[in-house]
């Protein structure tokens, strides 16, 4: 049996993802939500689970440091990694949106549109498609602040309920894309460990169908 390494994004979807693995009979008895440990193994010692920052999951998988990754579509789109995206885990659903102050004029009428985002690549692609030239400012958090203090005209961010947007006096201007958590796989691992990876995917899939 091959040893497999799964990279899991720390944060909001981690607990659900662990549960999903549990449903697929891949358990990590040591795991506890408040634990600071970053590496876990299942009792059979066939699967190693590593917790990494969500923006790094694609890097771990693309470089082969992990065979499998569990990460949001938002990070996959931004990373533009050469990987297989084999399963929609239907967790952490949200969407990419453009948001800005309530009085934002139609975007095509703003000259020199400046967009702040954690996802500059996604932002660039979206506005390129719309034919609107933009400048991007890469931020790592509290993106909503950018239009308020005048650093940017609008933001591109993931929106779950829209509460943060509203509470900061912004409104959603456009939806870009639906997001959910995906299971990604390194292409070389898929070729050389097909059986083991396929088995895990099938197990997770049947676990998914039970939970629906």
The residues, any chain, with a CB within 8 Å of residue 109's CB and separated by 6 or more, are: none
Question: Any contact of residue 64 with another protein (CB under 8 A)?
Answer: yes
Question: Any contact of residue 95 with another protein (CB under 8 A)?
Answer: no
Question: Any contact of residue 35 with another protein (CB under 8 A)?
Answer: no
Question: Any contact of residue 145 with another protein (CB under 8 A)?
Answer: no
CA proximity to 204, closest of 53, 48, 91, 79: 91
Name which position in 44, 88, 108, 160 contacts another protein (CB under 8 A): 88
142 vs 194, beta carbon nearer another protein = 194
Give all strands (DSSP E) within 84-167, no chain letters. Answer: 84-88, 94-101, 113-117, 134-138, 154-159
Q: How many residues of this chain bind another protein (CB under 8 A)?
A: 20
Please state, in angstroms and rounded to a whole number, the distance separating the CA atoms of residues 207 and 25.
9
Q: Is 49 helix (H, G, I), strand (E, B) or coil?
A: strand
What is the total residue count of the chain? 212
Question: Any contact of residue 202 with another protein (CB under 8 A)?
Answer: no
CB of 105 to another protein, least distance (A): 27
* Residue numbers at the binding site for another protein (CB under 8 A): 62-65, 83-88, 129, 182, 186-189, 191-194
């Amino acid at each position: 049996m091959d040893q497999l390494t799964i990279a899991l994004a720390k944060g909001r979807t981690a607990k659900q993802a662990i549960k999903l693995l549990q449903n697929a009979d891949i358990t990590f008895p040591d795991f506890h939500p408040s634990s600071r440990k970053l590496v876990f193994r299942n009792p059979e010692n066939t699967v190693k689970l590593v917790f990494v920052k969500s923006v790094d999951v694609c890097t771990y998988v693309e470089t082969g440091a992990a065979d499998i990754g569990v990460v949001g579509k938002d990070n996959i789109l931004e990373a533009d990694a050469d990987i297989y995206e084999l399963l929609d885990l239907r967790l952490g659903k949200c969407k990419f949106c453009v948001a800005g102050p309530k009085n934002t004029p139609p975007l095509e009428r703003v000259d020199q549109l400046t967009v702040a985002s954690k996802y500059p690549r996604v932002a660039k692609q979206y506005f390129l498609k719309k034919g609107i030239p933009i400048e991007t400012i890469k931020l790592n958090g509290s993106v909503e602040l950018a239009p308020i203090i005048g650093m940017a005209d609008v933001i591109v961010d993931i929106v779950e309920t829209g509460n943060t947007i509203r509470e900061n006096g912004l409104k959603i201007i456009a939806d870009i894309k639906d997001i959910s958590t995906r299971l990604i796989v390194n292409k070389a691992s898929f070729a050389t460990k097909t059986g083991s990876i396929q088995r895990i995917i099938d197990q997770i899939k049947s676990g998914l169908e039970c939970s629906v």
